[in-house]
């Protein structure tokens, strides 16, 4: 749509905004398609330096509140893990279980989320990325940090649900 092709009743400026919006939408959808088609590149640990992953855990089945990350504060349950971007949720689950023996019980549920800085507003945002369960194979076990667009500097928040508790329902999440 050209600016000269302004639909009747629309000022020229609004028509230009509409055209810009359509261009951005086309670029965003093309970018998403390209991302889906791109295979993950294997990471050679001999040539690639590991990253320091800060992991925060809870054992009540809920993720930390975002205000717990504000103003330089962080939740107290911090783990530091050196890993690579191709680390799977299953591998990360194993590392957490080494530190927390109570999480080793069969059917313990691990719900993973990426915590990242919100560029539009001050503070942090959360993006749930998947879950694993001790002693069971799951569809998210082979999911990697890289496949979920994890960026160096982001945090990982893991909500651990003991086997005798029901995991939180996905439709009943707290607002962040």
Q: Is the pLDDT of residue 174 over 80?
A: no
> What are the boundaries of each domain within the chain?
3-37, 51-169
For residue range 98-118, what is the model confidence (pLDDT) as tens digits? 998 888 888 899 999 999 988
Kind plus residue range of the DSSP H or E element containing 13: helix 12-37
Local confidence band at 39 (pLDDT 50, 70, 90 cut-offs): low
pLDDT of residue 2: 46
For residue range 114-163, what is the model confidence (pLDDT) as tens digits? 999 888 888 888 999 999 998 889 889 899 998 899 999 899 999 999 88
Local confidence band at 38 (pLDDT 50, 70, 90 cut-offs): low
The two tokens of residue 157 are 């928040």
Contact 137, 89 (CB under 8 A): no
pLDDT of residue 159: 93
Who wins on pLDDT, 38 or 52?
Answer: 52
For residue range 61-88, what is the model confidence (pLDDT) as tens digits? 888 888 888 777 888 889 999 998 989 9
Q: Is the pLDDT of residue 92 over 50?
A: yes
Burial of 65 from C-beta contacts in 10 A (0-12 / 13-18 / 19+): middle
Strand order in the sheet with 124-133: 78-83, 51-58, 155-161, 109-117, 124-133
51-169 under CATH 3.20.20.70, yes or no: no
Contact 156, 92 (CB under 8 A): yes
Measuring CA to CA, which residue among 119, 110, 176 is closest to residue 153?
A: 119
pLDDT of residue 23: 46
Rounded mean pLDDT, 38-52: 74
């Amino acid at each position: 749509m050209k600016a000269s092709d302004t639909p009747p009743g629309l000022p020229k400026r609004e028509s230009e905004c509409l055209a810009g919006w359509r261009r951005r939408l086309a670029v965003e959808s093309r970018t998403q398609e390209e991302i889906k088609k791109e295979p993950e590149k294997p990471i050679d640990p001999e040539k690639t330096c590991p990253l320091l992953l800060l992991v925060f855990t809870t054992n009540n089945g809920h993720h930390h509140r975002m205000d717990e990350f504000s103003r330089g504060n962080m939740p107290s349950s911090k783990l530091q893990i050196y890993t690579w971007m191709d680390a799977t949720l299953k591998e990360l689950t194993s590392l957490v279980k080494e530190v927390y023996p109570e999480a080793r019980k069969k059917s313990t549920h691990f719900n993973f989320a990426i915590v990242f800085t919100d560029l539009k507003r001050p503070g942090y945002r959360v993006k749930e990325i998947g879950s694993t369960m001790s002693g069971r194979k799951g569809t998210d076990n082979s999911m990697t940090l890289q496949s979920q667009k994890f960026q160096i500097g982001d945090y990982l928040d893991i909500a651990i649900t003991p086997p005798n508790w029901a995991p939180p329902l996905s439709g009943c999440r707290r607002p962040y």
